[in-house]
Chain A
Amino acid sequence: MATTGLSTPRIQGLACPTPVTDDDRVQLGHGSGGKMSARLLRDRFLPRFGNRYLDELGDGARIPTEGAETVISTDTFVVSPLEFPGGNIGHLAVHGTVNDLAMMGAAPRFLSAGFVLEEGLPFEVLDRILDAMTACAAACGVEIVTGDTKVVERGKADGLFVNTTGVGFLEGDFRPSPRLVRPGDVVLVSGPLGRHGMAIMAAREGLAFEADVTSDTASLWPCVEELRTRVGASVRCLRDATRGGLASALNEIAGASSVGIELSGDMPVPAAVEAACEMLGLDPLYVANEGVLVAFVAADAEGPALEALRTQVVGASAVRVGRVVDDHPGMVVLRTGFGGTRVVDMLPGDQLPRIC
């Protein structure tokens, strides 16, 4: 190997030159399954993620379930740019899957992580992403127990794609589901809307706003755990309002539960997000979040549920935004401050900035 000490004379002569393995970026060889792959794992992944399950380096991980009903969820993360105000793709990869488990009512426990690395990705970027995953996993109480890396040619991936699959455990009879949603239930939102989407857009388009907008990427499990403890079965359904924002999450549930949802005019949108949306002609109800949950809760548990959410940092500004109604099943309708109504429909695709 070319990393032998400086005292050893380098004799190349007619021999094939040894591949250069010390570099500052990902090369195709790192996906070869050979020594470079092993080094990548040894130098960058294992020191960070290492735990008793991963360190066995098996083809998979044997994990204890302790007899609990188990939830599994998977999500793949692609974002451009990889790093943005408030986080990077590593934060999303852990929080995203942790939150999906949490929305099922499961305490997140284990993660797998599969990486597609693009040739040329600087190691310093990869390191920052892995650091973020390590820190987030520790904070969420999950362990990354198995994983995979592949390398593709330059131009075949956007720096890095990552898939995480999570395993979590249910406790008692806490099983939130769209099937449980009933007219009369209240709709709570855990925090301010639209931060992640606008942070990404600002970073992507090089837009400078008066006040910095940072991604809200965060674990929602502490909020869910608190809800489970304090109001338990009164929690009907949970959903994290990611892609497509609050509007899309609510439409999905209205459709799945065959109920109508009526929103009040006041939505928790931070001033900076509102200003950016005004400028670009976007609707904050459709802008992505990575740390906001929507909770459907029985009306008589509204107070305790809000208190439960507000014990957590991400839920500090939790509010009721609407309620479930008999009317217009499958549709979300917003009652405006002026007494009018507006259908908050699913968008056909991405939200596009308006001309006027």
Chain B
Amino acid sequence: MKYLSEYRDPELARRLVDRIRETATRRWTLMEVCGGQTHTIVKQGIHEVLGDAVEMIHGPGCPVCVTPLEQIDRALHLAARPDVTFTSFGDMLRVPGSDCDLLQVKARGGDVKVVYSPLDAVEMARRDPTREVVFFAVGFETTAPANAMAVWRARELGVTNFSVLVSHVTVPPAMVAILEDPDNRVRGFLAAGHVCTVMGWEEYEPLADRYEVPIVVTGFEPLDILEGIWMAVRQLEEGRHEVENQYVRSVRREGNRPAQDLVGRVFRTVDRGWRGIGTIPGSGFALREEFADFDAEKRFGLEGIRAEESPECRAGDVLKGQLKPYECPAFGGRCTPENPLGAPMVSSEGACAAYYNFGRLQSRAAGA
């Protein structure tokens, strides 16, 4: 496929793997920030191929995983209301809340719909003014502009039966939280290419400088990831710590200014809870006061809904690379993909879920 198969060429990939091996004089620990990158790494088995040269720690960049339990419970509460049509991206539907997920609410009669764009939800609200249409606005800086646009557009069109349940998170504060941890093992980052397509990389420059870590803005195809790893390893070997851009076909230093502008007009920065990690200061977006009418939490009085995450879950340690998933006492027993205690077991590309599958493979093979 044009623009994709070029970035999946196994021969070029092998050459990059060789180059990484030749460059690395020791086994470096890197973190890929974004869930999309984790998906490629796990799907292609890149972590396995590179295992001797580089240890990849799967970062906290999966929006499905990190959306806090409390927000999921609020979504479930809204979806169960008879007057609400609850709209969401597909993969949020199976994320477990305290006692069920959105698919179960749907089966019990809730009006839950998958949309591919938040603007579809605005259109749904416009077409049927008798329904309260709520969109679950989750994700990183990548999805923030489209979600901001939906709110902007609803106001422009005078659509009053549309609102958003916001659970937006941002990448740099999470990286700071990881780097500030005294036991941090991460020596370099692959920054999320699509987040940077929107935001650019200026805000990463002080991080690279202050914490002396290479940060490589990286794409999502196998060759992107391998080249990003190679660039990070090369910096580490040369003692450099800069922001470099591997994803040149999409990212500019300043990012997408109109998108940033829109996000800034609609959202303000707030402290956000991350499932399995806890609250990270200044790590999320909420609607600005002037858009309060579109805030589902206010409209439906959801502030009272609180949820406690399992104290057994050690997702924070896993995401910081301090604990291998299988070292967690709950792993594979009280915590499985079907019944997850925390973020990294929720999505198939979460670190714990990935190990769960891979571990099954190894133990079966060993027993055969």
Seen from chain A, the residues whose Cβ lies within 8 Å of a Cβ on chain B are: 205, 207, 260, 265, 271, 274-275, 278, 280-281, 326-331, 333, 335-343, 345, 348-349, 352-356
Does chain A have a CB within 8 A of B364? yes
A-B contacts, 5 of them at CB < 8 A, read: A278-B4, A331-B364, A339-B49, A353-B91, A355-B64
Does chain A have a CB within 8 A of B94? yes
CB contact under 8 A between A331 and B361, given known A275-B1, A278-B1, A352-B94: yes
Kindly list 4 other residue pairs between chains A and B, CB separation below 8 angstroms, not including A343-B360, A353-B90.
Answer: A328-B361, A352-B91, A352-B93, A355-B92
Does chain A have a CB within 8 A of B35? yes
Contact B103 A349 (CB under 8 A): yes
Among A271, A280, A329, A343, contact of B357 (Cβ-Cβ < 8 Å): A343
Nearest CB on B from A184, distance (A): 15
Nearest CB on B from A205, distance (A): 7
Contact A338 B361 (CB under 8 A): no
Nearest CB on B from A148, distance (A): 29
Contact A353 B361 (CB under 8 A): no
Nearest CB on B from A171, distance (A): 37
Does chain A have a CB within 8 A of B300? no
Nearest CB on B from A228, distance (A): 33
Nearest CB on B from A211, distance (A): 11
Contact A340 B47 (CB under 8 A): yes
Nearest CB on B from A195, distance (A): 16
Does chain A have a CB within 8 A of B13? yes
A349 to B338, CA, bound (A): 11
Question: Using Cβ atoms and an 8 Å threshold, which residues of chain A touch B361?
Answer: 328, 331, 333, 341, 343
Question: Using Cβ atoms and an 8 Å threshold, which residues of chain B touch A345?
Answer: 357
CB contact under 8 A between A336 and B91, given known A326-B368, A328-B364: no
A278 to B43, CA, bound (A): 14
Contact B8 A331 (CB under 8 A): no
Chain A residue with minimal CB distance to B223?
A338
How many residues in B have their beta carbons less than 8 Å from beta carbons of A?
48
Question: Using Cβ atoms and an 8 Å threshold, which residues of chain A touch B49?
Answer: 338-340
CB contact under 8 A between A356 and B194, given known A338-B13, A341-B45: yes
Interface of A is mostly: loop
CB contact under 8 A between A337 and B8, given known A329-B368, A349-B94, A352-B94: yes
Question: Using Cβ atoms and an 8 Å threshold, which residues of chain B touch A265?
Answer: 10
CB contact under 8 A between A280 and B45, given known A348-B338, A353-B89: no
A343 to B13, CA, bound (A): 21
Chain A residue with minimal CB distance to B11?
A337
A327 to B364, CA, bound (A): 7
Chain B residue with minimal CB distance to A328?
B364
Question: Using Cβ atoms and an 8 Å threshold, which residues of chain B touch A260?
Answer: 364, 368
Contact B45 A338 (CB under 8 A): yes
Contact A356 B139 (CB under 8 A): yes
Does chain A have a CB within 8 A of B358? yes
A326 to B116, CA, bound (A): 42
Query: Beta-carbon contacts of B115-154 to A below 8 Å, as 1s and 0s?
Result: 0100000000000000000000011101100000000000
Chain B residue with minimal CB distance to A343?
B357
Does chain A have a CB within 8 A of B42? yes
Nearest CB on A from B235, distance (A): 23
Does chain A have a CB within 8 A of B261? no
Among A278, A338, A349, contact of B10 (Cβ-Cβ < 8 Å): A338
Nearest CB on B from A165, distance (A): 28
A165 to B114, CA, bound (A): 34
A356 to B62, CA, bound (A): 8
Please provide the 9 A-B residue pairs with the shortest distance between their CB atoms, ordered closest to farther. A340-B45, A337-B10, A353-B90, A352-B90, A343-B357, A328-B364, A340-B48, A356-B36, A355-B89
Contact A330 B364 (CB under 8 A): yes
A343 to B46, CA, bound (A): 13
Nearest CB on A from B280, distance (A): 19
Chain A residue with minimal CB distance to B61?
A356
CB contact under 8 A between A356 and B94, given known A329-B368, A336-B44, A341-B48: no
Chain A residue with minimal CB distance to B45?
A340
Contact A355 B13 (CB under 8 A): no
Question: Using Cβ atoms and an 8 Å threshold, which residues of chain A touch B116?
Answer: 205, 207, 280, 353
Nearest CB on B from A250, distance (A): 15
A329 to B365, CA, bound (A): 8
Does chain A have a CB within 8 A of B34? yes
Contact A356 B63 (CB under 8 A): yes
Chain B residue with minimal CB distance to A339?
B49
Nearest CB on B from A274, distance (A): 6
Contact B114 A338 (CB under 8 A): no
A326 to B92, CA, bound (A): 37
A338 to B44, CA, bound (A): 7
A326 to B361, CA, bound (A): 13
A333 to B36, CA, bound (A): 21
Does chain A have a CB within 8 A of B14? yes
Nearest CB on B from A248, distance (A): 15
Question: Using Cβ atoms and an 8 Å threshold, which residues of chain B touch A352?
Answer: 90-91, 93-94, 114
Question: Using Cβ atoms and an 8 Å threshold, which residues of chain A touch B222?
Answer: 338
Query: Beta-carbon contacts of B63-104 to A below 8 Å, as 1s and 0s?
Result: 110000000000000000000000001111110000000010
Contact A340 B46 (CB under 8 A): yes
A68 to B276, CA, bound (A): 62
Question: Using Cβ atoms and an 8 Å threshold, which residues of chain A touch B17?
Answer: 338
Interface residues of B in 8-40 (CB under 8 A from A): 8, 10, 13-14, 17, 34-36, 39
Nearest CB on B from A206, distance (A): 10
Nearest CB on A from B44, distance (A): 5
Question: Using Cβ atoms and an 8 Å threshold, which residues of chain B touch A343?
Answer: 357-358, 360-361
